[in-house]
Amino acid sequence: MCGIAGYLSSSHSPESRAGAVARMNAAMVHRGPDDTGITTCGEATLGMQRLAIFDRANGHQPMCTPDGRWHLVFNGAIYNFRALRAELTSTHDFKTECDSEVLLAALAHWGRAALPRLRGMFAFAFWDAQERTLLLARDPFAIKPLYLHATADGSLLFASELNALLASGYVPSAIDPQSVSDYLAWLAVPAPRTIYSAVRSLCAGECATWRDGRLTISPYDNARDLITPDAGAKPARSREAFTVGLRAQLEDTVRAHALADVPVGAFLSGGLDSTALVALMGNISSTRLKTFSIGFDDTGYSEAADAAANARHLGTEHHATVLTGERVAADLGALITTLDHPTGDGINTYYASQAARAGGITVALSGLGADELFGGYASFKNTALIQRWVPAWRALPSPIRTRLLARWSRGNTRSRKLADALNHATSPASLALLQRRVFCEVTRRSLLAPEFACDYAPHPAEAALAAQLGGSDLFMTTSLAEMRGYMADVLLRDSDVMSMRHSLELRVPFVDRPLVRWLAGQPTAFKYTPKHPKSAIAAAVADLLPPELLARKKRGFTLPYAVWMRGPLKPFLEDTFSTASVGRSGLFDSTAVQAYWRHFLSGHDAIEWSRVWSLGILIAFINRPRPFTP
């Protein structure tokens, strides 16, 4: 796990490029405190900060082949690197035991065709000094980030973090109004946009080629690839056979993700997903596992007791951090500075990662991704319910639909979301994505200054998903929509930023190509039971789990924001929603924003707090000091 950066240009001197890359490296020391490196070869200057996971004594980057032709900077982990190494031993004399050298050899040997062979999370830059060509790529799930700034003169800068790109001194930091609108809609700025007008993100499964000042971006992997079972794979014929097969798949992915030459631990909550992973980790490990959880002094929100009970059953060395509103309020300045993008989520990961690193862990496993694969979100039920009624809805006369939409748009949060879904869904994929809309259209437009209150825009992944998932059942469509939307836009992006702030490599075993493709070939009825979501996981590892866990009702993990926002966090929000603060950027309608804040304080909508908090973070992020714009 590292931070990578680069500057490619034929019109800027090697010295100026090296200076810019050095500044980007310095802004990412937290991503890789173990080693640093910069190299210049022709038009390319590459840099990296290394967090050493495999073969700690070696693996310095940038790394190049013995003949000096190919150069690599790489962020991530390739879990099948030893199998790939065995394939490449006849053509490459390996000097290290790290995955970086195997990736370098694989790219030198197979070129872009190596990408589908990689099992893991990655973002890398691969420079061919002979062809004077750079290949950039991002993993199929968007676990690892990669941001690009292309200039009018054909130069290219890239980095693992937006903050690092800005630190180069060559990237404008102007906020993109369309991205602000996107954030209000989705709780994030979906790729390829970023919060900055001059920077784009590679999307999941995309690669980019730079040559002679020209940048070309194209997909190498798509949603259809992710749900295409491996050749020879067969669906289970019974639930019992499925359960046995799932257990084998889960053991395989946990074993792969637990591979490291540094201490490995896990996040452990009171829920099923993380407990199942920790149970499987304990089953394959000969050492006592360290686990970490976040609890709250407000017991109505805290899972600390359940997490501790799970840890006792599993025999882990458990560390619990009690988080208070006062602590979060004191840390808000540092938290907002940490962010690459505004987000209303991720604070729990920030503190859990801080605790894990302080507890001697360099790699931590997380249960993120299980809800997307096994239908753990309400969006699965909601999408199916609405889709069932769509034909009857469309059969209604247009005037009746218009009146109903107008009435629902004036209702509470749930009815406004329903109105937007019925008004804008054009396919099952778009309907599934719309379950994650944050601010309804009426509110989104009202919060923005009139000149920036643009019309409805679908999620950027919608068109591709609709085209690629034709013929898939609704469960699979919803699953992929969750992975390409909320998981990639919010969960994975926040997890990367928050964990790497504390030099912690966070791994997500449920977000694994072999597991996803195996599940895609299995009957939906075995994967998903609407009344008992994720019962498939419970059945697969039932012999390892605490008996009381299976009897607990699922509850989503949430911080007690609604309480804190009327207490310790209120001064921050009062200041953020002040006339001067809201008006500073010129992007918002101050009257509407302040009315929204007062509406929350009056307590009319029990679930509106998340939107108010997200709006506050957005305004504070936009108002934070930014580097000089070149």
User: Tokens representing 23?
Assistant: 């500044």
Per-residue pLDDT averaged across 405-430, rounded?
A: 90
- Render pLDDT for 445-486 as a digit per residue (tens, 0 to 9): 999 999 999 999 999 999 999 999 988 899 999 999 999 999
Per-residue pLDDT averaged across 186-202, rounded?
A: 97
Which range, of 323-337, 369-383, 412-426, averages the lowest pLDDT? Answer: 412-426
pLDDT of residue 603: 80
DSSP β-ladder status, 290-296 and 264-267: parallel
Rounded CA-CA distance 133/34 in Å is 29
pLDDT of residue 262: 95
Which residues, 6 or more positions from 563, have their beta carbon under 8 angstroms from its beta carbon?
298, 301, 325
- Domain-embedded: residue 369: yes
The torsion angles phi and psi of 473, rounded to 5 degrees, stand at -75, 165
pLDDT of residue 238: 97
Q: Are residues 348 and 457 in the same domain?
A: no
Burial zone of 584 (CB within 10 Å; 0-12 exposed, 13-18 middle, 19+ buried) = middle
Per-residue pLDDT averaged across 381-389, rounded?
A: 94
Helices and strands in the chain, H and E counts: 29, 17
Q: What percent of the chain has pLDDT over 90?
A: 85
Residue tagged 């507890």 (tokens): 359
Q: Are residues 370 and 447 in the same domain?
A: no
Residue 384's domain spans which residues?
378-480
CA distances from 269 to 222, 293, 297, 321, 442 (A): 32, 6, 16, 12, 37
Sheet with 2-8, side-by-side order of all strands: 35-41, 44-50, 2-8, 156-159, 147-150, 200-201
Per-residue pLDDT averaged across 126-138, rounded?
A: 97
By C-alpha distance, which of 339, 341, 343, 328 is closest to 613?
343
Give the pLDDT band (50/70/90) at residue 227: confident
- Domain-embedded: residue 556: no
Residue after which a domain boundary falls, among 195, 221, 247: 221
pLDDT of residue 367: 96
pLDDT of residue 20: 97
Q: Is the dihedral of CA 471, 474, 480, 481 positive or negative?
A: positive
The catalytic residues are: 2
Q: Is the dihedral of CA 91, 92, 97, 102 positive or negative?
A: negative
Q: How many residues comprise the chain?
A: 630
Give the pLDDT band (50/70/90) at residue 1: low
Q: Is it the case that residue 556 has pLDDT exceeding 60?
A: no
Q: Are residues 105 and 214 in the same domain?
A: yes
Domain count, the chain: 4
Q: Are residues 214 and 304 in the same domain?
A: no
Q: Are residues 211 and 100 in the same domain?
A: yes
What is the CATH classification number for the domain harbouring 352?
A: 3.40.50.620
pLDDT of residue 606: 63
Q: Are residues 257 and 336 in the same domain?
A: yes
Rounded CA-CA distance 620/178 in Å is 18
Output the CA angle 574-580-585, nearest 5 degrees: 110
DSSP β-ladder status, 63-64 and 200-201: unpaired
pLDDT of residue 551: 73
Give the pLDDT band (50/70/90) at residue 607: confident
- Domain-embedded: residue 176: yes
pLDDT of residue 619: 98
Per-residue pLDDT averaged across 174-180, rounded?
A: 97
- Domain-embedded: residue 628: no
Per-residue pLDDT averaged across 431-450, rounded?
A: 94
Per-residue pLDDT averaged across 501-530, rounded?
A: 96
- Domain-embedded: residue 487: no
Q: Is it the case that residue 29 has pLDDT exceeding 70?
A: yes
Q: Is it the case that residue 229 has pLDDT exceeding 90?
A: no
pLDDT of residue 286: 82
Q: Are residues 579 and 604 in the same domain?
A: yes
Q: Are residues 350 and 498 in the same domain?
A: yes
Give the pLDDT band (50/70/90) at residue 198: very high
Q: Are residues 423 and 321 in the same domain?
A: no
Q: Are residues 334 and 390 in the same domain?
A: no
pLDDT of residue 628: 62
CA distances from 117 to 105, 583, 619 (A): 13, 50, 42
DSSP β-ladder status, 363-365 and 264-267: parallel
- Render pLDDT for 41-51 as a digit per residue (tens, 0 to 9): 999 999 999 99
Predicted TM-score (pTM) of this structure: 0.95
Q: What percent of the chain has pLDDT over 70?
A: 98
Mean pLDDT, rounded, of the chain: 94
Q: Are residues 371 and 382 in the same domain?
A: no
- Domain-embedded: residue 630: no
Q: Are residues 475 and 502 in the same domain?
A: no
pLDDT of residue 303: 83
Give the pLDDT band (50/70/90) at residue 420: very high
